[in-house]
Structure 1
Amino acid sequence: MGEVAENLNYDCNYNMFLAKIMLSNLPRSEDRQKAVKWMKKLISCNKSLEEMRLRNDFMYYLVVNIQQGELHHPFTENPPTCALPNIANLLPGGVSEVADEEIGEGPTRRPMLYENSPDGGAFLAAQPVPRCGAFCYLAVVAREPKNNN
């Protein structure tokens, strides 16, 4: 695992720190208790690199929920006792909702990245995210002019 695992653990620990200091943003004690249960569950998810990446995705969205002062699905429920499910199926705008929209079964819109990217956002999704600082990507694409005939 090596350096990749160190980076993933660093990110998890940083988000855990943020979650702990912002826990008071949640006005309901039940929400704070659920958030703590999720943090305990997530800190134990470190058996493989894939599980660590998934854990970090959950941690990121948990921090966002705590920062906003309200828990949303899946954090409104207790964490699963088994392995973490794929987060894309649990979060608003996840893979299942995008698939539902494509077949006409949902009012949700696809994320702007998917709508405006020629590859549906696949390239950007595969890029590394830095531990500190920002990630910036700029692309210049030439398109053939439309024929007005």
Structure 2
Amino acid sequence: MAAAKNLSGLSSIPKLKAKGDALTTEFQYYGAAIRNLAPALTSSKDRTRVLPWINKLFGAEYHVEVLRDKRNRYLAAITVNMINDELSGIFENDPPSGATRDLSTMTVVNAPCAEWEQDTTWSEYISALPENYEEMPCSFHKQDESCEKDQFEMNHQLDIEFWFLLYQIRPYAAMMPCPDARTKVASWIQTLCRLGCTKCGRMKGLRNDYAYALYGYVHDLRIAGPFQDYPPWNYLRSLPDAAKAAAKRHPLTSPCCEEAESFMSAQPTPEEGAFCYIAVTGEFANSNIPLPV
């Protein structure tokens, strides 16, 4: 009860009007985040311990110009701790009565690898492919062109992002009720894994676009858009173009499309008789054509 009572003081965190500078914007963001995150901390000990830090960092002395950057760095660190639902490092103790330490002089404690970072399912799958296995060629360069010129600083980050998405997709794909949909998802994953994007950063971005879209659909235990068909073998077009082509092949009013199948599967089965569902559509009316008299 004491912790809950003290947490009510979070409403006193000031809501300042933006002055147009980055430090003020950051401060407002961290204030809004802390108001939501602090009461949600699982440990009552952490909920109690975070209050002295909040009171200190939101004190008037940290609104002076020379301390605003230092204040925001502390707020960023404590916000990340609360997102992780655990106060660690310097926040394990109460704040000092005097000046706070300079964060740049403190040792950074590296967090252990997450479970998805240790998962080797797809990396083992790719390494097990035979040497003569044909990769899907780059969609942005011809075969006689080099993809190395389109390397980006974020290339490694794009690969990490892709492994994370595959880790997220796998359990949802296994729970999909339709066997045909599960097969198509598996085919798409295999295709994305065999893209010839070991050097081309643009191709890695396209691969991740497809992975993000696929994850969004399998999270709802369904497939839609270009994933209603099996993946191509020779060329992967841009995601917007693939979505437009899929919309023409699988209109929502078609009784054979995945959306219609999902809708019908969710409807109750009558004990007697039958339900009739009618989909009505049409082209947009042309206002230049006069109506019949």
Specify the TM-score bucket, using the shorter chain as the normaliser: 0.5 to 0.7
Please tell me the residue identity of whatever aligns with 1:53: G
Q: Which residue of 1 aligns with 2:211?
A: 59
Aligned-residue RMSD, C-alpha: 2.3
User: Mind listing any 5+ residue stretches in structure 2 that lack a counterpart?
Assistant: 1-150, 245-282, 285-293
Provide the C-alpha distance between the structure 1 equivalents of 2:229 and 2:207, rounded to a whole number of angstroms.
16
Provide the C-alpha distance between the structure 1 equivalents of 2:182 and 2:219, rounded to a whole number of angstroms.
12
Give 1:70 deviation, angstroms. Answer: 0.9
Other structure's SS at 2:236 match: coil
Could you give the per-residue CA deviations for residues 98-141 of structure 1, whole angstroms, max 9, x where no partner exists? xxxxxxxx87xxxxxxxxxxxxxxxxxxxxxxxxxxxxxxxxxx
Alignment counterpart, residue 76 of structure 1, candidates 228, 236, 254: 228
Give 1:23 deviation, angstroms. Answer: 1.1
Q: Which residue of 1 aligns with 2:187?
A: 37
Aligned runs of 1:18-37 on 2, under 5 Å? 18-37=168-187
TM (norm. structure 2) is 0.31
Give 1:33 deviation, angstroms. Answer: 0.7
Q: Structure 1 residue runs of 4+, over 6 Å off?
A: none
Q: Is the 8 A contact 2:152 2:201 kept in 1?
A: no
Provide the C-alpha distance between the structure 1 equivalents of 2:204 and 2:185, rounded to a whole number of angstroms.
18
Higher RCO (C-alpha under 8 Å, 6+ residues apart)? 1
Alignment counterpart, residue 91 of structure 1, candidates 220, 243, 249: 243
Q: Is the 8 A contact 1:25 1:67 kept in 2?
A: no
Give 1:91 deviation, angstroms. Answer: 2.7
Provide the C-alpha distance between the structure 2 equivalents of 1:39 and 1:63, rounded to a whole number of angstroms.
11
Give 1:73 deviation, angstroms. Answer: 1.8
Q: Paired residues, what number? A: 96
User: Mind listing any 5+ residue stretches in structure 1 that lack a counterpart?
Assistant: 93-105, 108-149
Provide the C-alpha distance between the structure 1 equivalents of 2:215 and 2:207, rounded to a whole number of angstroms.
12
Provide the C-alpha distance between the structure 2 equivalents of 1:29 and 1:3, rounded to a whole number of angstroms.
40
Alignment counterpart, residue 13 of structure 1, candidates 163, 180, 194: 163
